[in-house]
Structure 1
Amino acid sequence: MDEEAFDAFYAASFSRVVAATYAMCGNMSEAQDCAQEAFVRAWDRRKQLDMDQSPEAWVRTVAHRLAISRWRKARRAWRQPDRALEDRAVAEPDPNRVALQRALARLPEEQRRVIVLHHLCDMSVADIAAELGAPTGTVKARLSRGRAALAKHLGDPKGDSQQ
């Protein structure tokens, strides 16, 4: 992939990668940082990236792994934040978005990942299976269980009956 093609790829994909990473980790600045780092790594190997083999999936996977790695490091080094360095209050987030983010955070990582890829990244079950290296039946089962758990966490008595 030449520099011009990479620039077009970056412009077309960055927002989607950030959105998927945010949905997975729940922190916008972390999501942006992880996505940016993933694109830096993609830039370093741009000559090996093949546009026919979904480089966005590669970048999304790298960003996801970076977010997990950062979360693990932060968890190990956890300490009370310095209140003097806290950001000033911003406008309140949409309650539905907060509820969805909290419900997603309660799902097992595998279910959360397929829910995010399917519903937020508009990927098909087959594409998710290919990206994760899992059978399509496994992806379908994770989607079904994840939807049922989300419905329960969000207080929907219908559960997984509507897809």
Structure 2
Amino acid sequence: MTDTQLREIALTTLDGKPTTLAELADGAALIVNVASKCGLTPQYSALEKIAQEYGDRGLTVIGVPCNQFMGQEPGTAEEIQTFCSTTYGVTFPLLEKTEVNGPDRHPLFAQLTKATDADGQAGDVQWNFEKFLLSPGGEVVKRFRPRTEPDAPEVVDAIEAVLPR
């Protein structure tokens, strides 16, 4: 699959509208599988900060709720949206609840999980808040495991590297 094709995979927003990465993000994208009841949920604050700080330069943060890790995203679309906006002030786009691993893995994650992390490991998403950085052309350029904070130096440096100066 080419990078352009990755940007054309059919997606659905949290409010049920069909879309694609190409429609959601003009430039680079940081795609993160998220959950509302996880020990890592406070990463929403840093994700929103990144979205605000780099949005004008062409970065779109995209949250993908997932309930595959100990049922930590049990809510309905409305509950997820309310939680994210009222608790963390999330303004970046959220997709519908999605399977990121296993036989029902969404085609987007079938492609994203081919990317390797800093240790050269590809494969299944380990847990909530795994992050995939896409270049403006749609290439997966970096993969960050869940415990890497969205505003960690290695994430910020990677974002800076794919954005126009």
- The TM-score normalised by the length of structure 1 is 0.24
Could you say which structure has the higher helix fraction?
Answer: 1
- Rg comparison, structure with higher value: 1
Q: RCO higher in 1 or 2 (8 Å CA, sep ≥ 6)? A: 2
- The TM-score normalised by the length of structure 2 is 0.24
Could you say which structure has the higher strand fraction?
Answer: 2
